[in-house]
């Protein structure tokens, strides 16, 4: 998800998206621990997307 897409979303949408992506990231991380993922780059991209959304929410609070 790009920054421009994130900026277009409302605060409520961002919070919902953040929750779902955090859950997805944790599930992938656990699955990767048990057996290697086909594409471990997914973890990196999900982690960065979560950080982007969290940063946007923090910026909007100010």
Residue-wise pLDDT tens digits, 11-29: 999 999 999 999 999 999 9
In this structure, what DSSP letter does residue 62 have? -
**pTM of whole model > 0.75?**
yes
| C-alpha span between 18 and 47 (Å, rounded) | 11
Question: How confident is the model over 26-57, as pLDDT tens digits?
Answer: 999 999 999 998 999 999 999 999 999 999 99
Query: Cβ neighbours of residue 43 under 8 Å, at least 6 residues apart?
Result: 25, 28, 29, 32, 37
| C-alpha span between 33 and 27 (Å, rounded) | 10
Domains detected in the chain: 3-61 (1.10.287)
Q: Six-digit token pair at 50? A: 């979560």
Give me the pLDDT at residue 62, please: 80
């Amino acid at each position: 998800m790009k920054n421009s897409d994130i900026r277009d979303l409302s605060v409520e949408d961002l919070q919902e998206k953040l929750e779902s992506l955090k859950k997805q990231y944790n599930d992938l991380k656990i699955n990767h621990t048990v057996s290697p993922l086909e594409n471990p780059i997914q973890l990196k991209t999900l982690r960065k997307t979560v950080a982007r959304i969290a940063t946007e929410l923090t910026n909007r609070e100010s």
